[in-house]
Copies of this chain bind each other. A is one copy, B any other.
């Protein structure tokens, strides 16, 4: 995925957005990071160049437009990511380290659901989170 300013601006306009500098920066962050990001992390990376409210509005707008997914909720933080690894009904699983808080996408991890969910229920999406220890925290 190209991440230069022009490509980002084009992508934004194709998605129906004005290519404002804030939106270009936030989208670029996600593309360069290649991992889930929360509003707080984005603020830390961007510094005071973008207002808190604007970041929230950008994340909501991007999510509504399908440019981002809400990957999972980490404590009180909502964590977003590019949806390139997700299908319509299946957002891929994530891993979260209980020691350092590090998170990762489990792209090659398969989750099979067995059994009926119940009479009359319609399942549309599944969210799977694996908690444990990351390699860095494993050896204590």
Task: Give A contacts to B, CB under 8 Å.
Answer: 73, 76, 93, 95, 98, 104, 106, 108-135, 138
| B128 and A111 contact, CB distance less than 8 A | yes
| A95 and B109 contact, CB distance less than 8 A | no
Distance between A26 CB and nearest chain B CB, rounded to angstroms: 22
**Can you tell how many copies of this chain the complex includes?**
2
B73, B112, B115, B130: the one contacting A126 at CB < 8 Å is B130
B76, B104, B113, B131: the one contacting A111 at CB < 8 Å is B113
B112, B117, B122, B135: the one contacting A121 at CB < 8 Å is B135
| B124 and A131 contact, CB distance less than 8 A | yes
The residues of B that contact A76 with a CB separation of less than 8 Å are 76
| A132 and B123 contact, CB distance less than 8 A | yes
The residues of B that contact A117 with a CB separation of less than 8 Å are 95, 106, 109, 130, 132
Known: A117-B106, A130-B117. A124 touches B112 (CB 8 A): no
| B133 and A124 contact, CB distance less than 8 A | yes
Known: A104-B118, A118-B95. A124 touches B132 (CB 8 A): yes
